[in-house]
Amino acid sequence: MPSRQIVILALLFTMALGVSGCKKRTAHAAPPAAAPAPPAQPVPTPSTPPESKPETPPETPPAPAPAPPPVKPAPAKPRPPDPPKPAPPQISPRLSPQEQAAAERHTNEDISVAERNLQVAYGKQLNASQHDLVEKIRGFLGQAREAMRAADWVRARNLAQKAHVLSVELINSL
C-alpha cells in the first residue's frame, strides 16, 4: 500500500504544478486609469442647506497666446524641364554579313508561315485557348517587325520563331 500512496501523492503534486501554471507566463493587470479630477466647487446636496458665501466669479482659464502669423512659403522656383532621355541602347551581338542574311531569311520565312497559319484560323470558330494563341501570335509578329526595323536580327529571329511555333500549335488544335 505505501507505493499506492506514493503514486497518489505524485499525481496530486503533478496536478498542483499543472494548475499553478508557469511563473514566466503570469498575467499582469494593466495600470489603473487616471481617476477623474474632482469638481472645482462642492455640489450642494438637498439634505444640507447651501452655505452663504459671497459670490466669486468662476475662474476663467487664461486666454491662449495669440497664434503667430502664418508663414508664407517662398514661391517655388520653376524647374527647368528635364532633358529628354536618350533611348536605351540595344544590345545585340555583331553578326557577320552571312549570319545577318541567314537571320533575315529565316525571320521572313517564319513570319510568312505564321501569317499563313493565322489566315487558315480566321474562318474558324475558336475557343478561348485558341483565341489566346491568336493574340500571342499577333503580338510576337508585331514585336518581330519592330526588331527588324531596329536591325536587331537576333531578336527578330527569336520572336518570329515563337510566332511560327505557336501558329503550328494553333493549326494542330483546329
DSSP-based helix, strand, coil % in the chain, nearest 5: 50, 0, 50
The CA-CA-CA angle for residues 124, 128, 132, to 5°, reads 90
Question: What CATH number belongs to 104-173?
Answer: 1.20.1270
Amino acid at 47: S
Q: Give me the tens of pLDDT residue by residue for the chain, a chain 174 residues long.
A: 567 888 887 778 777 766 666 556 555 566 665 555 555 555 555 555 555 555 665 666 666 666 667 777 666 777 777 777 776 665 666 888 899 999 999 999 999 999 999 999 888 888 999 999 999 999 999 999 999 999 999 999 999 999 999 999 999 998
Kindly report the pTM of this predicted structure: 0.48
Domain positions in the chain: 104-173
Name the strand (E) or helix (H) holding 2.
helix 2-20
The CA-CA-CA angle for residues 28, 34, 36, to 5°, reads 145
Cell for 94?
555583331
Q: What is the pLDDT of residues 17-67, one digit of tens each?
A: 666 665 565 555 666 655 555 555 555 555 555 555 556 656 666 666 666
